[in-house]
């Protein structure tokens, strides 16, 4: 009787799991009709909903123009598809089998997930539904504060009306409708939070002196924003950044012995709860170890004490492990995978990081990893040029490595911005290179120092305008 009960329970469990529930990935197939693209990139899709940043995956295009890829995802996830210079939003759910036909600048969708992506594709063509364009206009055009809030209202209303019209002719998955509703709410909160900030900065006014329209300050408290249900949208946790920072500054002002890190942690613990608190702490840990190259033992200890979400714990374990491995690289020769990272020089000759460094044997190498589209990167170039000239008689080489893709105007623009035609390279795979992955480089500019013997001295070196950098380079060159 016992065995029979177990077998029946097992069969019931299996039969209750639909293929959709069992699948933890979405399949995307397609064909390119009028392009010589060799690959298509799928960016920002989150396999694990707790991932602070989504991943980029590449589908190779065969000689007939076909491509296919399985994208791991545990739940609905929104990302971007790039083909040549075109970018389009995509939304995928576990079990989707989406077919995409790329014909020049246009896309056609079939299969599971087709209706949802057809709607997003149509929505992207509605100018007033472009959040990035809306915010850009705040900076580049003259608007009253009332105008800005009206633009937010219009943005939300148009998104909702476009969805209502589309639903009259197409059936959309309930999961997507729920996601879109929450995404619209988060966009609304984000814009309402940022409009006064942008206006005050642009017009040089104290933000506290602004007369906000009725209801515009609706989301000024943690309680008004927090909702664990919103975690399906990647921008949700970012809504708390300004609230946490503002409250932390208040606490530091009333208690001068309180560090910034302790103040932020106390705010998070006191003001947030549930998964929202865990995801917020995870994001703080992630940015500490990947961008700030530091850790906060009290934050980490507290996170592991309160954590109940397996996805959060997996990400924290992974990132802290990577951080410890990265720290262990200091003072040692570069790892094999880093040395084998593929580059191109300014004549588009392929080589590896090893081959590049062989050119500078016996010299200290200061690597400037940058991009033409990065404002801070460009601003640092004059200081880099001056420092390079000051150290021209030393065994030091300044090497520039862009993450930009090849284009007709790439190298002339690189020479112009960097104010140098010497020691210029580009990564074959941009941010997806092994060097970036192993050193957790997710942003530019990033500066790296390698000594005369090929040992890694710093993966987070000072910027060219920092006087300490000159002292460090001189010391290394004199060894």
- pLDDT for res 20: 41
- pLDDT for res 84: 82
Per residue in 76-123, pLDDT tens? 999 999 998 889 999 999 999 999 999 988 999 999 999 999 999 999
Question: Model-level pTM?
Answer: 0.84
Per residue in 323-359, pLDDT tens? 999 999 999 999 999 999 999 999 999 999 999 999 9
Residue 81's SS3 state is strand
- The answer on pLDDT for 7 being more than 60 is no
- The answer on pLDDT for 3 being more than 60 is no
Distance CA 450, CA 456 (A): 5
- The answer on pLDDT for 19 being more than 80 is no
Question: Measuring CA to CA, which residue among 83, 80, 57 is closest to residue 70?
Answer: 57
Q: Which two tokens stand for residue 348?
A: 């588009």
- The answer on pLDDT for 16 being more than 50 is no
Q: What's the pLDDT band for 53 if we cut at 50, 70, 90?
A: confident
Lookup result for tokens 């639903």: 167
- The answer on pLDDT for 272 being more than 70 is yes
Q: Mean of the per-residue pLDDT values for the chain?
A: 92
- The answer on pLDDT for 417 being more than 80 is yes
- pLDDT for res 1: 41
Cβ neighbours of residue 94 closer than 8 Å, sequence gap 6 or more? 20, 21, 23, 24, 25, 26, 73, 74, 75, 76
- pLDDT for res 15: 41
Lookup result for tokens 């950044």: 241
- pLDDT for res 8: 41
Cross-sheet strand order for the sheet of 77-83: 55-60, 39-45, 77-83, 86-92
Task: Determine what percent of the chain is predicted with pLDDT higher than 70.
Answer: 95
The angle, 0 to 180 degrees and rounded to 10, between the axes of the packed helices 131-140 and 174-202 is 10
- The answer on pLDDT for 126 being more than 80 is yes
- The answer on pLDDT for 476 being more than 80 is yes
- pLDDT for res 85: 80
- CA distances to 152, 160, 239, 266, 325 from 147, rounded to whole Å, are 9, 20, 22, 37, 51
Average confidence (pLDDT) over 158-173: 97
- The answer on pLDDT for 6 being more than 50 is no
Q: Which two tokens stand for residue 287?
A: 């940015």
């Amino acid at each position: 009787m016992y065995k029979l009960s177990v077998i029946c329970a097992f069969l019931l469990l299996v039969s209750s799991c639909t293929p959709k529930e069992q699948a933890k990935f979405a399949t995307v197939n397609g064909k390119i009709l009028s392009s010589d693209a060799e690959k298509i990139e799928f960016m920002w899709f989150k396999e694990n909903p707790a991932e602070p940043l989504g991943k980029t995956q590449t589908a190779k295009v065969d000689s007939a123009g076909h491509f296919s890829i399985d994208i791991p995802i545990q739940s609905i996830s929104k990302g971007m598809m790039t083909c040549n210079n075109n970018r389009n939003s995509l939304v995928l759910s576990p079990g989707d089998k989406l077919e995409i036909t790329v014909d020049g600048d246009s896309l056609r969708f079939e299969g599971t997930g087709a209706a949802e992506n057809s709607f997003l594709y149509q929505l992207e063509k509605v100018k007033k539904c472009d959040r990035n364009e809306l915010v850009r206009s705040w900076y580049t055009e003259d608007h009253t504060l009332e105008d800005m809030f009206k633009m937010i209202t219009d943005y939300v209303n148009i998104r909702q009306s476009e969805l209502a019209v589309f639903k009259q002719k197409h059936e959309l998955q309930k999961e997507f409708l729920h996601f879109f509703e929450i995404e619209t709410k988060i966009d609304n909160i984000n814009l309402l939070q940022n409009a006064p900030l942008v206006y005050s900065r642009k017009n040089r006014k104290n933000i506290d002196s602004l007369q906000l329209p009725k209801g515009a300050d609706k989301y000024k408290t943690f309680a008004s924003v927090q909702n664990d249900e919103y975690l399906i949208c990647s921008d949700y946790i970012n809504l708390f950044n300004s609230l946490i920072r503002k409250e932390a500054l208040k606490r530091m002002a009333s208690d001068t012995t309180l560090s910034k890190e302790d103040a932020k942690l106390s705010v998070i613990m006191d003001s947030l709860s549930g998964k929202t608190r865990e995801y917020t702490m995870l994001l703080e840990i992630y940015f500490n170890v990947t961008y700030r190259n530091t850790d906060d033992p009290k934050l980490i200890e507290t996170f592991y004490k309160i954590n109940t979400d397996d996805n959060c714990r997996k990400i924290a374990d992974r990132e802290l492990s990577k951080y410890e491995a990265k720290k262990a690289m200091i003072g040692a020769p570069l790892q094999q995978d880093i040395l084998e990272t593929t580059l191109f020089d300014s004549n588009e000759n392929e080589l590896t990081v090893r081959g590049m460094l062989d050119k500078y044997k016996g010299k200290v190498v200061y690597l400037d990893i940058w991009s033409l589209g990065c404002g801070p990167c460009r601003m640092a170039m004059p200081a880099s040029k001056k420092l390079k000239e000051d150290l021209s008689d030393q065994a030091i080489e300044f090497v520039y490595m862009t993450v930009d893709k090849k284009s007709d105007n790439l190298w002339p623009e690189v020479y112009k911005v960097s104010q140098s035609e010497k020691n210029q390279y580009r990564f074959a795979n941009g941010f997806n290179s092994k060097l970036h992955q192993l050193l957790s480089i997710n942003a530019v500019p990033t500066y790296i120092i390698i000594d005369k013997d090929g040992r890694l001295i710093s993966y987070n070196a000072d910027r060219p305008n920092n006087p300490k950098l000159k002292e460090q380079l001189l010391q290394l060159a004199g060894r």
